[in-house]
Structure 1
């Protein structure tokens, strides 16, 4: 595991596999780190299939530095990934990700097409519930606590406590934030999650998908998954010309069961990303 400074913040990353093999950037969802249970088994399966895999803690995840800039958080991550691949002398490469990582991968392909040879996405967030739920979870708590207590209020939130525990320098980075600038930035990020005509996925205009001209594999969402609707996957497949859409290799209700098990605190239950390893054969087949 290594780190490198990108756009004013340290980014933690590691590369699995053998030098010379095709590189896949593998990105999980939410503000989860590269060490979220379920992600590494997929990475290792891809390595066993003859690929290299870059795992990275995006800003505001894992042990990387917290950062707040850009039109959306995914725009910031796309800029970070461009800087990371450039600094490492890597790319173009395969961009792959699920849930929020799917949006990050899509946006990176749109903004920096020179980085991507192929695109693989699954569990794509969309719909009114999915979008509003993300805004309520990732933006509103920080806005409310800073309005009430100032920047110091961020230290009351478990999310930022975890970032400090993983990387103690994040405490000083948070304290250095300007209250008003932070609130404006979080409002900007929150706005991306407000459902709008002409935006199938949060913060990305449908017209921008026309810029994706590389082979794309889409694993559709489960039929009753409110966070990653089947409909959103179908719409994205229509927006990306000649994309390949396949049924999920995991159970249709995998996300719902994972949500239930997590809420119940089941140690031996589903984790959100445990089923992702089941996509390895389809991904390897698509990559050829």
Structure 2
């Protein structure tokens, strides 16, 4: 593992795979670390295909420094990744991401097109239930807590993976960083970030207007959501596909109910939400290397 300081905060990262391999960035979802189950396994699968995979703890994830800026948390992460690649003298890269990482990488491709050669995303969040569920998980608790207990309450906020208490435990420097931000600024930023999760008719995914998707000009692969995956609706995959010219939409390489199975397993204290992702390595390698994926494509294509 290594560290780089960008935008006033330290980002923890590591490379997996041969040094001369094509550069790929792999971004997980939620506020989960690069070390969350399933992430390294997918990276190793890509590395076995000759890729040099960058894994990173995004701001407010894992061992990196907490940061609060940007229109949304995903905008902040896209800006951080761009600054990190430039600081490391890397790029352009293949941008891959699932769940919240899909949103991060979509915004990265829109905002920093010079740093992206291809885009691959899956488990995309969108729609009323999915978006409002994220609001409850990643913004409402923060707003309730900071208003009731100030920044010291945030330091102790726990109860789920990726909580602020976890971030302080993983990186004690984050306690001082949060205190320096203070309750007033923390609340102000989270009010803005919360608003992104309020469903809007012109935003297929939280915080991203439908007009912006046409700015993505690179080859794009979308792995659609499962048949009854309410957290990553099938419908949203179709919407994003329709909005990115020339994108390819494929059936998932895992079972239709893989997310539901993983969720139940985690509730039993087993495995990780991202365990199914390693099954995507073959199709992602086909996509990156320009091999045909026609046999996996759905009938619907972007015009």
Q: Which TM-score applies when normalising by structure 1?
A: 0.97
Superposition deviation, residue 264 in structure 1: 2.7
CA deviation string 1:64-120 (max 9, x = no partner): 000111100000001100000001111111000000000000000000100100000
Task: Determine the C-alpha separation between the residues in 2 that align with 1:155 and 1:104.
Answer: 25
Query: What is the aligned residue count?
Result: 285
Task: Determine the C-alpha separation between the residues in 2 that align with 1:57 and 1:134.
Answer: 19
Superposition deviation, residue 20 in structure 1: 2.3
**Aligned ranges 1:30-45 → 2 under 5 Å:** 30-45=30-45
Structure 1 runs of 4+ with >3 Å offset: none
Classify the secondary structure of the residue corresponding to 1:176: helix
- Aligned residues of 2:15 and 2:52 also touching (Cα < 8 A): yes
Task: Determine the C-alpha separation between the residues in 1 that align with 2:50 and 2:156.
Answer: 44
Structure 2 gaps of 5+ residues are: 290-303
In the other structure, the counterpart of 1:285 is: 286
Structure 1 gaps of 5+ residues are: none
1:28 and 2:28 correspond: yes
**Aligned ranges 1:40-51 → 2 under 5 Å:** 40-51=40-51
Task: Determine the C-alpha separation between the residues in 1 that align with 2:245 and 2:137.
Answer: 33
Task: Determine the C-alpha separation between the residues in 2 that align with 1:111 and 1:271.
Answer: 31
1:122 and 2:122 correspond: yes
CA deviation string 1:198-252 (max 9, x = no partner): 1000000010001001100000000100010000001100000110110001010
Superposition deviation, residue 161 in structure 1: 1.0
Cα RMSD (Å): 0.8
Task: Determine the C-alpha separation between the residues in 2 that align with 1:263 and 1:21.
Answer: 37
In the other structure, the counterpart of 2:275 is: 274
In the other structure, the counterpart of 1:222 is: 226
In the other structure, the counterpart of 2:81 is: 81
Task: Determine the C-alpha separation between the residues in 1 that align with 2:154 and 2:179.
Answer: 9
Superposition deviation, residue 280 in structure 1: 0.4
Classify the secondary structure of the residue corresponding to 1:96: strand
In the other structure, the counterpart of 2:141 is: 141
Match for 1:180 among 176, 180, 184? 184
Superposition deviation, residue 165 in structure 1: 1.0
Classify the secondary structure of the residue corresponding to 2:187: helix
In the other structure, the counterpart of 1:213 is: 217
Classify the secondary structure of the residue corresponding to 1:3: strand
Superposition deviation, residue 152 in structure 1: 0.9
1:112 and 2:112 correspond: yes
- Aligned residues of 2:118 and 2:219 also touching (Cα < 8 A): yes
Task: Determine the C-alpha separation between the residues in 2 that align with 1:3 and 1:263.
Answer: 33
- Aligned residues of 2:11 and 2:64 also touching (Cα < 8 A): yes
Task: Determine the C-alpha separation between the residues in 2 that align with 1:17 and 1:263.
Answer: 32
Task: Determine the C-alpha separation between the residues in 1 that align with 2:41 and 2:151.
Answer: 38
